[in-house]
Structure 1
Amino acid sequence: METGYPTTLSEIETRATALDFDMNSGVPVGQLLASLAAAKPGGQFLELGTGCGLGAAWLLAGMDAEARLVSVDTDEAPQAIAREVLGSDARVSFLLEDGGAVLEGMALASLDLIFADAWPGKFSHLDEALGALAPGGIYVVDDLLPQPNWPDGHQANVDAYLADLRARHGFVFTQMDWATGVVLMVRR
């Protein structure tokens, strides 16, 4: 895909709505994901939190033919949508597994991009996620600005998480207060 949106977006959005799934990645974050994936030819990518597959669709839109994506979630119903809509693309594989367990088994410095869109890799297993990044690897998270579906007290989790990220050595940290709130970290 050179420009525009992934052709699978409307089908994923329609099916997500029918499932009452409202935690989809938005277009601005999706476009960023596609651009970052395009910047890593032949890259190895990990998505933590498949949801219904919108993030994966954007990543696939930016990936070249040699790149590979593993998308992980614990919720079978939304991930089934992603599997059905995107599963014929040989560049992606889906794991119905705890993201923390996946991170614990991940080789150090083996990934070019992680999109952490779930609790593991963000609020838990952060050391494992950042350790899995190769030099030049990109760590991307969203949903860092207050969201309507946040549980009471979640802002404290976000504040502690951002403070932790800012204090890390060996990374370039960028916080962007647009879309749902995005952070990029690139491993030196």
Structure 2
Amino acid sequence: MDDTPKPGQLPSSLTELQVAARAAGFTMSCEPRTGGLLATLAATRPGGRILELGTGVGEGTAWLLSGMDGAATLVTVELDDAVQAVAREQLGGDERVTFVNEDGGHWLEEYDGAPFDLVFADTWPGKFNHLDRALQLVAPGGAYVIDDLTPTPDWPEGHEAAVTDLLAVLEGRSDFLTTRLAWSSGLLIAVRTGGAGAGGGGGTST
């Protein structure tokens, strides 16, 4: 079975974003199959509140928006203003999205609003640091998603150990049900189920 998203499933702005990413030498956008999954998850949250940590040039943002209904909202946070400017140019006309140009860790520390139904952490803050705070912002029944978990030759020294530790922490939490996906770039989905936090969690792998 071919699981590559078909042309009719692609966000209308994706081609322009990919061209801009190549021109800027930006290589950290989410893989298309991951994008398709993000769109599907966003579609399960009518009127939902969605958080993306790490806008990049906006490819993941475009996928999320493509799955959202008209009442859903998206906050996307990025430190690099020049990179996020590409996303703002292509997607800024969509009133459902709010772009935040700020360090993700600082934003997580300062944010005091409502929780989110879907959190996609595609950068260090909310994933390798400020993890507990990001998980606190997942609403009951909401999902936390991370990608880029399958080792690649260009990973820096120590990164594989950091990923292993991250997975152990997430799968050790009793307030989330986790599933690994050995697919695309390697993903984990964690859904808030309740419980008392770290320790005694459960998970599955596919």
Aligned identity (percent) is: 53
* Cα offset, 1:108, TM superposition: 7.4
Match of 1:53 in 2: 58
Match of 2:86 in 1: 81
Runs of 5+ unmatched residues, structure 1 = none
Is the CA contact 1:147–1:180 (under 8 Å) kept in the aligned structure 2? no
Partner letter of residue 39 of structure 2? A
Is the CA contact 1:120–1:126 (under 8 Å) kept in the aligned structure 2? yes
What's the Cα RMSD here?
A: 1.2
* Cα offset, 1:149, TM superposition: 3.8
Query: Is 1:147–2:152 an aligned residue pair?
Result: yes
| Greater than 4 Å deviation, 4+ residue runs | none
Match of 2:31 in 1: 26
User: How many aligned positions are there?
Assistant: 186
Compared with structure 1, are the counterparts of its residues 151 and 78 closer, same or farther at alpha carbon in structure 2 (3 Å cutoff)? same
Match of 2:71 in 1: 66
Match of 1:40 in 2: 45
Query: Is 1:93–2:104 an aligned residue pair?
Result: no
Q: TM-score, normalised by structure 2?
A: 0.87
**1 or 2 for the larger relative contact order (CA 8 Å, sep ≥6)?**
1
Alignment map for 1:129-140 (pairs within 5 Å): 129-140=134-145
**Structure whose CA Rg is larger:** 2
Query: Is 1:120–2:117 an aligned residue pair?
Result: no
Q: TM-score, normalised by structure 1?
A: 0.96
Listed one character per residue, the Cα deviations across residues 54-81 of structure 1 (whole Å, up to 9, x for unaligned) are 0000000000111110110111121110
Match of 1:156 in 2: 161
